[in-house]
Amino acid sequence: MLSVPILVEGSLWGSLGFDDCRSERIWDEMEIDLLKTAGALVASAVERARADDQLRQRDRRLVEAQRIGHVGSWELDLETKEVVWSDEGWRIFGFEPSRRPWSYKENLERIHPDDRARVIEVDTAMREHGRPVEFEYRILRPDGAIRNVYERAEATRDSAGRPIRLVGTVHDITELKATEARLRESEERYKLAAQGAEVGLFDWDVLTGAAYLSPRVHEILGIGTEPLCTSITGLFDRFLPEDRAALQQHLDSRFAMQQRRVDYEVRLLDALNGPRWMTVSGLIVYSDGRPVRVVGSLMDITERKQSQEALVRQREALYQSEKMAMFGTLLAGVAHELNNPLSVVIGQIALLQETTKDPIVAKRAERIRNATDRCARIVRTFLAMARQRQPEPKPVKLGIIVEAALDLLAFQLRSADVRLELRLATDVPMVTVDADQMHQVVTNLIVNAQQALTANPRQRILRISTWYDSANLRACLSVSDNGPGVPADIRARIFDPFFTTKPLGEGTGIGLALCSSIVRSYGGEVSISDTPDGGATFTIELPLSSPLGTPERDPGENEARSGLRILVVEDEHEIAETLSEILRQRGFETEVVFNGQEAIDRIAVREYDLVLSDLRMPVLDGPGLYRALLQRHAEVISRLAFITGDSLSTEAQSFLRDTKIPCLEKPFLPEDVLRLVAQVTQVRG
């Protein structure tokens, strides 16, 4: 018997033998060589079969991998213009797997019309330059559905360097694009502007400290690839020291508890733009109870953090607005109840000063008068702050506005140990503004300065100045402090809405923005500069209300003629009597009634030069009196004026605005009453 081994890939696979069953014989060399050749042919056939099977298995794995990953491959023969797609490629285009190639033209017809020219341009560039390309475009399925795909492609060339085919892959990213769109919508709802922020990947070997950092990580950090590509320390060293230590402590805690996830926010050092916020997220891999690997991502969330802070500021601003609205409602009731007795006190003290001959009594009356005058100004200031109405610009002196604000804030400044320095020039012309609005501006600047001085260990100084800029014809006001000042890099943003340097809960970021808006609405400007001895100076410049050389006219400088007959309509007896006394001492004849109906009855039988009425009264109130006079005695309307302690109510404001009837707010001074009398009777005259 003659037998030879069959060796497949160096291993014994079997043997091939021949036997002459009739007799024993000696095999010659030719027969032996023939048998060896046959064995080699069998071994070669087995190897080819194995290779074919492996190739089929690789093809199956490739097809399966493409199906799982939704990645299709294609090949364009530049000579035949035919495009061959893999099975998954056909599925991506909405077809059943097919081996039939289709033409390049047919392939283009499946590209979205808006993207077709770009695909042709990219294919042409590949044929000409041969550089690999990556880009996105849309395709059209037979059912009309539009899918987004991401393509990577390159050209292959022959030995002469001529392109002979284009090959590439497409990845169906439609769901990914939809997810990104949903994420953007969610971010927009909460004003988190993190658009365009991609994720950088890292793979950290915890045992050795070695790490792989994707190119996107380097892009986020704004550096090249060399400094960070070998160690996780290179990444962590880019974080602020306190955040780096906190992150390491967080990781140690997660490792100790064998937690699988890590999510932590840190700040990144950025010399140009200041710290940027990053989120470090990842999966922790353990082996034998020890952490061996952390695979995760780095994402820039700076815009999201800024949007969150802005959202908190807006909510705080809304809360403050609601609080002020509630405060205004409360003040409306308190002011009415307080203004009435305060008016009596002020009026009676003024009368006492005019009638007493005793110098001791006069001195005491002067002290009481000063205190009650201050009380009246404070109440008026509160009312001005809480009042919700359209601005009413009128000529006013800046010094008066400053004094009103200081009446309100004097105790607060003293309690904070702030030394106040006033430099109010007397030659500053009037400006035409809404006094209530400008009071809010000045109050805000003073409060900001007082807060800035809180951390000042030195003598705290607040300096308020007014002056006249004759070169530019401007009335100027400045509020200066010797606090820490405002850094130069944020001055350009300090008047932006919702921008603040104060911690959350202490500032809304709308105060200075509102100040700037109010001043600019009157043609003025607000600026910030350094205080010479340290601190910040806010300066307001406003145009003048009248040309130079034209004296501003005080509407109450001319007194009404004596002998006028005045009807006082007031349900509070003490106020009615006080008003009557003030008027009688000035030579006026007065009569008092206690509601609007009594006033109508008196007017029907007697003529009056002026009717001075309260707004809120029983039986018939001020608006009811106005309507009754309009119907029965229209000629009296021009002689009607109101005195009220309820100017905050919406009804009162609307009524006074619509009728344009002169009105004096309680508490009032005797000179206020006389000025109102002069105003009404002079207009009539």
Query: Does residue 551 lie in a domain region?
Result: no
Cβ-based burial of 445 (10 A; exposed 0-12, middle 13-18, buried ≥19) = buried
Query: Does residue 553 lie in a domain region?
Result: no
**Pair (361, 455) in one structural domain:** yes
Determine the 3-state secondary structure of 661 from DSSP.
coil
**Pair (316, 290) in one structural domain:** no
Q: How many domains does one find in the chain? A: 5
Q: Which one of 249, 265, 300 terminates a domain? A: 300
Q: Which one of 12, 32, 64 terminates a domain? A: 64
pLDDT at 553: 47
**CATH code for the domain of 105:** 3.30.450.20
Query: Does residue 385 lie in a domain region?
Result: yes
Domain limits for position 162: 70-178
User: DSSP secondary-structure letter at 112?
Assistant: -
Given the DSSP bridges, would you call strands 610-614 and 565-569 parallel, antiparallel or unpaired? parallel
Q: What is the Cα Rg of the chain in Å?
A: 45
pLDDT at 196: 41
Q: Which helix (H) or strand (E) holds 467?
A: strand 460-469
Q: What does the pLDDT look like over 272-312, one tens digit per residue? A: 666 788 889 899 999 988 999 999 888 888 888 878 877 77
Query: Does residue 24 lie in a domain region?
Result: yes
Determine the 3-state secondary structure of 245 from DSSP.
helix
Query: Does residue 522 lie in a domain region?
Result: yes
Cis peptide before 667 (omega within 30 of 0): yes
Query: Does residue 549 lie in a domain region?
Result: no
Query: Does residue 554 lie in a domain region?
Result: no
pLDDT at 193: 30
**CATH code for the domain of 665:** 3.40.50.2300
**Pair (395, 508) in one structural domain:** yes
What are φ and ψ of residue 402, in 5° steps? -65, -45
- State pTM to two decimals: 0.41
- Amino acid present at 470: S
**Pair (173, 25) in one structural domain:** no
Q: Which helix (H) or strand (E) holds 153?
A: strand 146-157
User: What span, in angstroms and rounded, lies between the C-alpha atoms of 126 and 12?
Assistant: 50
**Pair (340, 449) in one structural domain:** yes
pLDDT at 589: 92
User: DSSP secondary-structure letter at 230?
Assistant: S
**Pair (438, 513) in one structural domain:** yes
Residue ranges in the chain whose pLDDT is less than 50: 190-197, 504-505, 507-508, 548-558
**Pair (598, 652) in one structural domain:** yes
Its sign, for the CA torsion 278, 283, 285, 289, is: positive
Q: Which residues of 287-297 are buried (b: 16+ CB within 10 A; e: fewer)?
A: eeeebeebebb
Q: What does the pLDDT look like over 166-195, one tens digit per residue? A: 988 988 888 888 888 887 776 565 333 333
Q: For residue 456, give both structure tokens.
A: 């000042």
Q: Which one of 158, 178, 198 terminates a domain? A: 178
**Pair (337, 442) in one structural domain:** yes
Cβ–Cβ < 8 Å for 342, 375? yes
Query: Does residue 399 lie in a domain region?
Result: yes
Q: Which residues of 234-256 are buried (b: 16+ CB within 10 A; e: fewer)?
A: bbbebbeeebbeebeeebeebbe
Cβ–Cβ < 8 Å for 202, 234? no
Determine the 3-state secondary structure of 677 from DSSP.
helix
Residue 605 CB partners (closer than 8 Å, separation 6+): none
**Pair (88, 60) in one structural domain:** no
User: What span, in angstroms and rounded, lies between the C-alpha atoms of 530 and 77?
Assistant: 72
| CA 609 remoteness from chain centre | 58
User: What span, in angstroms and rounded, lies between the C-alpha atoms of 348 and 355?
Assistant: 10
**Pair (538, 603) in one structural domain:** no
pLDDT at 160: 83
**CATH code for the domain of 315:** 3.30.565.10
**Pair (57, 92) in one structural domain:** no
Cβ–Cβ < 8 Å for 125, 131? yes
The half-sphere exposure of 173 on its side-chain side, counting CA atoms within 13 A, is 15
**Pair (139, 196) in one structural domain:** no
